[in-house]
């Protein structure tokens, strides 16, 4: 048996003329066998017995078939991009061009996993990112990358900007094809209406032929250009000896166009150019929406990676400072973080006291005070004073990198669902072609071949998955438009379908149920003079609590001579003594009860200390929306990284019985995983970078427009404004959309069950088949348009 998966090409880019194992690609010692070991031989026999060889290499095991052509572009050395892990293995992240489906992922991971040096090999289809770890120095890494190259994929160091450029280019190409198809469909349909109106009337043959030729001049270039996405996909599928839903589409469009041209040349009335271009236009709408959704999912992890790509100010042994890439630092190095600078590494404070904004990490608006011995994380922002840090983790070992890994794992789980459509197509497409072929063969015995071919084309056209393909996109487009008018943006092609199935709603606190803006809590015990003095002193600080105090009393004139003590508070000298505004420790207050709310204390000589408590402003309709969700039978949970006291108070106000506080991103993902294990389908509504992994891991997710950019990207749905009504509205539209989709699919199936036998019996001519196909599409769109009627 010759090599079935020939990993070498002519000329081989890596190993010269060395023979390679058929199954794993390892070099063969003697070249006399097709396998390097008994395990490879047994595994390969099993693949053949199960008929899985097409999924292994994208080709059948055929000794006469050429091997997959490797990428001809040389691969950049990966050693400079590799990092050493704590276990001694080298780790690198690469971008793989040419990934199309989960089978590609399985192939690359399988080939790499069989190499003895490999510690880890994971491919993310959504971001096209290969995470590869191996032992043995840089040389094995180059060989492993070469194996992937030999499979026909191009491998380069991971570059988020490059992936974004390629995705953007593909979107533009698809949008141009959509515009061309729409232009052609509108004009050809107008000409066809003129032809149909003249049937049986006064339109002469010459006029009809002229209209047909004008239609051909418009349709032929449009089909050749706009049909390229389907033609290329069908060609690749057939080249790999498999079927997908693009095969019958490409076949029908090609035959419809060719037959129309043939009939036009013969001056016959049966020309149906409008069917081909209309079919292309509607299917391109669905294809463009799918590409947009997948492109946005890819950019979630890429934006997080961009947050990690920062430099830091390094302090050397002599005390000199220099700027250096964060990736070049190692544990034990010392870095200086200026006020207002984002921290690039995980570390421990050695010198200095300050406040850090950790909202990108835990989503909370209240800064944290840090001093010697405090731990800080990459992504936090130093607010008040310079800090000297000792590095504890950099690059892929930082907390921010862990968030990236969580998001990619969640995204990969969603991406594998894409293969379900092809599984259906492997049954649908062959059946359609077999029915058309059977119709042609049967009618050859009963009529001339032209009539037999026309009947076969009628079967292909009338069974084209136009209504079936529009069943979901039509509903999605109309539902998206309705939600967009309400300030709600759908970003995932499957969001509506998943929203209709949810039975649990999980809320984050800060920025989701609340507006993420601190406000002074109303307290009749606050003396007006104390409030004026505190506001005057607070004018000297940019601390969020100070700013909230200023908003509560903006008329107070700033107090001269005020000085800020980072992490503690403010002070000013007065005739009667020193005035202080800050924490209870700074103001010398230790006996008052701590209610778990953010607070500031004002202490001045001769008067009792005054406490100012702050609350995060609740969204105006949060209570009503939570109550409505519970009335609909949804289980409502509250997960927050905030303190237990603040979370408990909010849960009590909203009537939420299940809540957890002090949760890190991993803990939120664990809660969602537990809900999934119970069979629950959870909607996660969250804001902030720490919610990004939970948003990506949830069954479906929403995020307010005030969220950090990465969270908005990770979420399936974004809503604007201060109202939570968007959550209830989106769920209502999702339920209606699910009903419309079921109705559309049921209609499409019933249509095919009735129309296909009629076409096979020769009772449907190609023009009538085109009209029936167009009618089925209009019926599906008309049913979807019922979504525009909003119920009170």
Point out the residues that are catalytic. Answer: 508
Question: Residue 9: which region, alpha, beta or left (left: phi > 0; alpha: psi -120 to 50)?
Answer: beta
* Contact in structure between 514 and 525 (CB atoms under 8 Å): no
Q: What angle do CA 237, 467, 411 make, to 5 degrees?
A: 55
Cis ω on the peptide bond leading into residue 11 (within 30° of 0)?
yes
Beta strands in 341-399 (DSSP E): 346-351, 354-357, 368-370, 375-376, 381-382, 387-393
* Contact in structure between 687 and 510 (CB atoms under 8 Å): yes
CB atoms within 10 A of CB 351: 13
Closest CA to 767 of 367, 208, 151, 104: 208
Element (H, E) at 728: helix 725-760
Radius of gyration of the chain from its Cα atoms, rounded to whole angstroms: 33
Gap between the Cα atoms of 233 and 639, Å rounded: 44
Task: Tell me how long the chain is.
Answer: 792
Question: Residue 699: which region, alpha, beta or left (left: phi > 0; alpha: psi -120 to 50)?
Answer: alpha
Reduce the DSSP state of residue 5 to 3 states and report it: coil
* Contact in structure between 400 and 304 (CB atoms under 8 Å): yes
Which residues fall within 8 angstroms of residue 305, CB to CB, at 6 or more apart?
158, 160, 404
Residues paired with 130 in a beta bridge = 94, 123
Of the CA atoms within 13 Å of residue 153, those in its CB half-sphere come to 28
* Contact in structure between 382 and 339 (CB atoms under 8 Å): yes
Write the DSSP string, 142-195: HHHHHHHHHTT-EEEE--HHHHHHHHHHHHHHHHHHHHHHHHHHHHHHHHHHHH
Q: Phi and psi dihedrals of 660, rounded to 5? A: -140, 140
Gap between the Cα atoms of 601 and 526, Å rounded: 11
Sign of CA dihedral 172, 174, 178, 179: positive
């Amino acid at each position: 048996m010759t090599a079935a998966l020939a990993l070498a090409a002519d000329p081989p880019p890596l190993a010269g003329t060395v023979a390679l194992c058929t199954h794993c690609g390892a070099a063969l010692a003697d070249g006399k066998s097709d396998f390097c070991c008994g395990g490879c031989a047994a595994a390969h026999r099993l693949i053949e017995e199960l008929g899985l060889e097409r999924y292994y290499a994208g080709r059948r095991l055929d000794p006469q078939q050429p091997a997959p052509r490797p990428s001809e572009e040389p691969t950049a050395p990966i050693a400079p991009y590799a990092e050493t892990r704590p276990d001694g293995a080298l780790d690198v992240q690469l971008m793989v061009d040419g990934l199309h489906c989960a089978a590609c992922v399985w192939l690359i991971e399988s080939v790499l996993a069989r190499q003895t040096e490999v510690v880890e090999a994971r491919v993310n289809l959504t971001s096209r990112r290969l995470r590869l770890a191996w032992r043995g120095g840089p040389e094995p890494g180059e060989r492993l990358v070469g194996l992937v190259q030999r499979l026909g994929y191009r491998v380069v160091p991971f570059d988020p900007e490059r992936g974004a450029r390629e995705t953007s280019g593909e979107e533009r190409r698809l949008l141009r094809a959509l515009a061309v198809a729409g232009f052609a469909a509108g004009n050809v349909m107008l000409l066809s209406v003129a032809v149909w109106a003249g049937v049986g009337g006064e339109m002469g043959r010459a006029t009809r032929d002229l209209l047909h030729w004008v239609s051909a001049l418009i349709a032929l270039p449009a089909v050749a250009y706009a049909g390229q996405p389907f033609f290329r996909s069908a060609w690749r599928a057939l080249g790999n000896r498999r079927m997908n839903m693009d095969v019958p589409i490409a076949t029908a469009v090609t035959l419809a166009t060719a037959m129309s041209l043939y009939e036009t040349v013969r001056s016959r009335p049966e020309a149906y150019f409008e069917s081909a271009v209309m079919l292309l236009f509607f299917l391109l709408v669905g294809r463009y929406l799918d590409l947009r959704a997948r492109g946005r999912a890819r950019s979630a992890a890429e934006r997080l990676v961009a947050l990690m790509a920062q430099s830091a100010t390094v302090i050397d042994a002599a005390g000199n400072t220099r700027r250096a890439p964060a990736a070049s630092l190692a544990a034990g190095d010392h870095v200086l973080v200026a006020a207002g600078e984002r921290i690039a590494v995980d570390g421990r404070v050695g010198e200095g006291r300050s406040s850090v904004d950790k909202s990108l990490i835990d989503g909370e608006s209240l800064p944290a005070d840090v001093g010697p011995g405090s731990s800080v994380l990459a992504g936090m922002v130093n607010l008040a004073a310079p800090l000297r840090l000792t590095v504890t983790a950099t690059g892929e070992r930082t907390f921010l990198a862990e968030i990236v890994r969580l998001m990619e794992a969640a995204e990969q789980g969603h991406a594998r669902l894409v293969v379900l459509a092809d599984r259906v197509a492997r049954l649908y497409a062959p059946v359609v072609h077999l029915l058309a072929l059977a119709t042609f063969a049967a009618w050859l015995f009963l009529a001339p071949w032209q009539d037999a071919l026309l009947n076969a084309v009628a079967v292909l056209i009338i069974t084209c998955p136009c209504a079936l393909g529009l069943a979901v996109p039509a509903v999605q487009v109309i539902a998206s438009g309705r939600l967009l008018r309400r300030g709600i943006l759908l970003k995932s092609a499957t969001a509506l379908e998943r929203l209709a199935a949810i039975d649990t709603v999980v809320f984050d606190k800060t920025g989701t149920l609340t507006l993420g803006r601190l406000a002074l809590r109303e307290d009749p015990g606050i003396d007006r003079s104390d409030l004026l003095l505190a506001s005057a002193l607070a004018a000297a600080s940019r601390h969020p609590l100070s700013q909230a105090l200023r908003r509560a009393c903006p008329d107070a004139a700033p107090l001269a001579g005020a000085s800020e003590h980072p992490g503690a508070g403010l002070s000013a000298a007065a005739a009667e003594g020193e005035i202080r505004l800050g924490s209870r420790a700074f103001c010398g207050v230790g006996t008052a009860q701590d209610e778990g709310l953010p607070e500031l204390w004002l202490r001045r000589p001769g008067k009792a200390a005054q406490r100012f408590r702050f609350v995060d402003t609740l969204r105006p309709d949060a209570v009503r929306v939570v109550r409505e969700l519970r009335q609909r039978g949804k289980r409502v949970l509250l997960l927050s990284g905030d303190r237990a006291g603040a979370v408990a108070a909010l849960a009590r106000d909203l009537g939420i019985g299940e809540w957890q506080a002090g949760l890190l991103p991993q803990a939120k993902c664990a809660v969602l995983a537990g809900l999934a294990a119970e069979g629950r389908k959870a909607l996660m509504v969250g804001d902030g970078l720490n919610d990004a992994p939970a948003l990506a891991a949830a069954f479906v997710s929403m995020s307010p427009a005030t969220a950090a950019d990465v969270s908005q990207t990770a979420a399936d749905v974004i809503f604007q404004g201060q109202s939570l009504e968007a959550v209830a509205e989106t769920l209502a539209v999702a339920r209606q959309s699910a009903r419309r989709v079921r109705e559309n699919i049921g209609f499409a199936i019933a249509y095919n069950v009735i129309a296909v036998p009629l076409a096979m019996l020769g009772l449907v001519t190609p023009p009538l088949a085109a009209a029936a196909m167009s009618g089925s599409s209009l019926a599906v769109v008309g049913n979807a348009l019922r979504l525009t009627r909003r119920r009170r």
